Homo-oligomer: A and B are copies of this chain.
């Protein structure tokens, strides 16, 4: 089992892999590349993964066999495990607990080489619906305080397998950066009695220069304070704290704006790696998340984050969001 450790200085939690640690020779630091060998996520290779948790599949096909469109399996190398107790404890000034949580892989498509721009709108809707279904299931486990849904695409973005997939991690505590966002949004709400994110949407729609795309329910824009060049946020126009509460009639609109965005980014930057993360309110908590507004943060991997950024949390962005938005608007999807 891994350990969750809490930094006594800033209060950050990290996951330390204590039971199956990497040796020095396990690091492939000179070259970014995918793990080699047969792809365990491909259609027909269902036996290569741990047993299926959920799937969308054709009628009369059975679990762990072909016939699926979207498939969810436990991560074969989970950073957290479901069984056991947290057992929070101290060693001198340090705090730690057992690595309890869930770590699932959501295989977005049976096709190894098809990323979001190559899928139909329907196919994108399917895997987004599955994001939602997994979140709604994991929220039932009262030990979990946060569900993180994120995609690493391409080796430079940290993906070890090429086949498009999303990771779903349920955590027994709220991550530091999320907690800060929640607090910041809450402070604004207390002061103004308005949602900060709703105010951001209002200002972006008025100024227009950072808007990339919009449809009836969603806005895609380059944030005024981007941390990375060509960073884009997709946010529901109507206030909502939890991603998993998305109305099913809104999902096609989210699928279409996500597909359009990724297509434009890949048109400007062929073969680029990227990450996106769904930011949503903590779950099973004290309900003090008033004023938080779920959204997706999308970041193409164009620069290497250096020591300065890690050490300071102070980012240098070589392309202003106003200009990035212009390039993205002009790239035809």
Interface residues of A (CB under 8 A from B): 3, 5-18, 21-24, 26-27, 29-30, 32, 79, 91-94, 148, 150-152, 155-159, 167, 169, 171, 175-178, 180-181, 184-185, 188, 196, 199-200, 203, 207, 224-227, 229, 268-269, 271-273, 275-277, 279, 297, 299-308, 310-321, 323, 327
Contact = CB atoms under 8 A, between A and B. Distances in A.
A308 B229 CA distance: 18
A221 to B, nearest CB: 13
B29 A314 contact: no
Given A225-B7, A277-B308, A171 B27 contact: no
A203 B92 contact: yes
Contact of A14 (B91, B148, B158, B315): B315
- Quickly give the copy total for this chain: 2
A229 B317 CA distance: 27
Contacts of A180: 9-10, 313
A93 B24 CA distance: 48
Contacts of A176: 312-314
Contacts of A303: 27, 29, 158
A17 B308 contact: no
Contacts of A196: 8-9, 93
A317 B16 CA distance: 5
Given A8-B188, A8-B200, A21-B323, A158 B15 contact: no
B224 A184 contact: no
13 contacts: A10-B184, A13-B314, A14-B225, A14-B317, A21-B320, A24-B269, A27-B302, A29-B301, A91-B224, A152-B308, A158-B306, A177-B314, A279-B311
A8 B184 CA distance: 8
